[in-house]
């Protein structure tokens, strides 16, 4: 009888060991599921960050601006930024009456990517200023700019109004800057928007 009881106790121990093994196995499976969930969460977060970066980049348009200055004159614009200034080169000021302002193709805040094909992204501020001063009479600027907001999906509550205005060109310009329009990348297609009206110009 005592042996039988001992055998029964051994059976109970074996059963307990089996249950412990199952608990350990279940715990390991739960740990693996948690780890997999964490990895999936990290992948989702990384994907979302990539989408935000792509979206931010897509919100900018690029245009080429050609300026022709007379000998001894300046472009009439101020550039900030550079590798030593913690920021991309951008237009910080347009001198009223200056060549850049009268071109009606630039806005304060526009980024200057290149000058006559020379990339500015790796130049210091002083090098950019020197380049603009000694670039010659014909200047070709590659300009990156913020796109206007997208058109609303619904036009309910929007009152449309059409006005005919007769403008006379001043040189090659009407005195305002327009941004937007159709683009081969539909993400960049925007309604045409007047972003700036030059004081004293034909449109003012």
CATH number (domain holding residue 80): 2.30.42.10
Q: Is residue 44 part of a domain?
A: no
Q: Is residue 25 part of a domain?
A: no
Q: Is residue 26 part of a domain?
A: no
Q: Is residue 100 part of a domain?
A: yes
Q: Is residue 54 part of a domain?
A: no
Q: How far apart are CA 76 and CA 100, in angstroms?
A: 6
Q: Is residue 19 part of a domain?
A: no
Q: What is the pTM of this model?
A: 0.60
Say if CB 174 and CB 202 are below 8 A apart: yes
DSSP string covering 9-35: HHHHHHHHHHHHHHHHHHHHHHHHHHH
Maximum Cα–Cα distance across the chain: 119
Rg over alpha carbons for the chain, rounded to the nearest Å, is 33
Q: Is residue 138 part of a domain?
A: yes
Tell me what pLDDT residue 54 has: 41
Most confident region among 125-129, 156-160, 164-168 by mean pLDDT: 125-129
Q: Is residue 204 part of a domain?
A: no
Q: Tokens 């245009």 — which residue? A: 63
Question: Could you report the per-residue pLDDT of 25-71, keeping only the tens digit for each?
Answer: 655 566 665 565 555 555 555 555 544 444 444 477 888 999 998 88
Q: How far apart are CA 147 and CA 186, in angstroms?
A: 13
Tell me what pLDDT residue 90 has: 95
Using pLDDT thresholds of 50, 70 and 90, give the confidence band for residue 15.
low
Higher pLDDT among residues 182 and 18, named by residue: 182
Say if CB 68 and CB 50 are below 8 A apart: no
Q: How far apart are CA 141 and CA 144, in angstroms?
A: 10
**Averaged pLDDT for residues 81-96:** 92
Q: How far apart are CA 131 and CA 123, in angstroms?
A: 10
Give the domain range for residue 182. 60-151+160-197
How many domains is the chain partitioned into structurally? 1
Q: How far apart are CA 129 and CA 78, in angstroms?
A: 9
Q: How far apart are CA 107 and CA 113, in angstroms?
A: 14
If DSSP states are collapsed to H, E and C, what string results for 65-113?
Answer: EEEECCCCCCCCEEEEEECCCCEEEEEEEECCCCHHHHCCCCCCCCEEE
Whether the pLDDT of residue 6 is over 60: the answer is no
In sequence order, which residues have a C-beta less than 8 Å from that of residue 196 and are 6 or more positions away? Answer: 104, 107, 176, 177
**Averaged pLDDT for residues 152-176:** 74
């Amino acid at each position: 009888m005592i042996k039988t009881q001992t055998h029964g106790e051994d059976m109970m121990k074996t059963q307990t060991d089996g249950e412990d093994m199952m608990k350990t196995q279940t715990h390991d499976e739960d740990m693996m599921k948690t780890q997999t969930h964490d990895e999936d969460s990290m992948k989702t977060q990384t994907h979302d960050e990539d989408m935000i970066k792509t979206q931010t980049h897509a919100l900018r348009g690029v245009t080429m601006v050609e300026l022709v200055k007379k000998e001894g004159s300046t472009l009439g614009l101020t550039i900030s930024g550079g590798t030593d200034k913690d920021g991309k080169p951008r237009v910080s000021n347009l001198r009223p009456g200056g060549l850049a302002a009268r071109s009606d193709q630039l806005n304060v805040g526009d980024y200057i990517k290149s000058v006559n094909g020379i990339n500015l992204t790796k130049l210091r501020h002083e090098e950019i200023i020197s380049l603009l001063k000694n670039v010659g009479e014909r200047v070709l600027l590659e300009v990156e700019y913020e796109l206007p907001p997208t058109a609303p999906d619904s036009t309910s509550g929007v009152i449309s109004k059409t006005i005919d205005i007769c403008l006379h060109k001043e040189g090659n310009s009407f005195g305002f800057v327009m941004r937007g329009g159709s683009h081969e990348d539909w993400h960049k297609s925007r309604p045409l928007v007047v972003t700036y009206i030059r004081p004293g110009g034909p449109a003012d």
